[in-house]
Amino acid sequence: MKRILFLVVIVLLCSTCRKKVTKVNPDYVGEWIESPRGWCESKIIIDEDNNGLYTYSSNTTSECSDNIHGIARLGDKVLVIGSRHFKLIEKATQIPDTLFSGGVATSNMRMKIKIPLWLGASGDIVTLYKKK
């Protein structure tokens, strides 16, 4: 009976494992910038080696400053960077070309995430656009 319970637990754990981003959906690789909404903004960078970086910062104030880095993993409804879990409200999605950041760059990918409560933009749902 203990062996069966052990196997069931192992199967459940493995079925909920998050896989490295490049193995699941390489569309997430790149630089993702929040559409401007104030003086502080979120940014996520994921490279080809699955290294992830989340920053929450401002050019004009030191009030907002967070940096999280680690392996980027993707689950069904979550993007994980290091030990931080970002709930995916909207997965990476193709959109018509969109100008952002004062018309400097364009994007044709968008995702929406919920920021964990212990980070700077705590609990906010933010829209991020992938830079071309």
Cβ count near 28 (within 10 Å):
21
Residues 65-84, mean pLDDT to the nearest whole number: 89
| 15, pLDDT greater than 50 | no
Judge whether 30 lies within some domain.
yes
CATH number of the domain encompassing residue 81: 2.40.128
- Comparison of pLDDT for 62 and 125, the residue scoring more: 125
Residue 42: which domain range? 19-130
User: What's the whole-model pTM score?
Assistant: 0.77
Displacement of CA 21 from its chain's centroid (Å): 10
Point out which residues pair with 45 in neighbouring strands: 31, 53
Judge whether 34 lies within some domain.
yes
Judge whether 14 lies within some domain.
no
Judge whether 125 lies within some domain.
yes
Judge whether 3 lies within some domain.
no
Residues 48-65, mean pLDDT to the nearest whole number: 79
Q: What is the mean pLDDT of the chain?
A: 80
* The total number of structural domains that make up the chain: 1
